[in-house]
Amino acid sequence: MIASGIGPTEIGLILVAVLLLFGGAQLPKLAKNLGKAQKEFKDGLSASQKDAESKESKESKESAKADDNDS
């Protein structure tokens, strides 16, 4: 049966595998690039959310104007 989650043993094995694949000298570069990628992803997400919110508010304002003109 497969356990639901990753335990300390699995994390240790993953870290050893990464160390063997990339070597000790490459790990800081790898971590730095992962951090940059994560930051860019978060920035892109927040920008798209702001864009969606501005479109919603614009549509609601236009809808309110149309309702006022119908009265």
Q: How confident is the model at residue 1 (pLDDT cuts 50, 70, 90)?
A: very low
Question: Pick the residue with more confidence: 56 or 4?
Answer: 56
The full set of domain ranges for the chain reads 32-71
pTM of the model: 0.52
Q: Name the 3-class secondary structure at 50.
A: helix
Residues above pLDDT 90, as percent of the chain: 35
DSSP class per residue in 31-45: HHHHHHHHHHHHHHH
Q: How confident is the model at residue 63 (pLDDT cuts 50, 70, 90)?
A: confident
Question: Max Cα separation, the chain?
Answer: 73
**pLDDT, tens digit, for every residue of 17-41?**
988 988 888 888 988 999 999 999 9
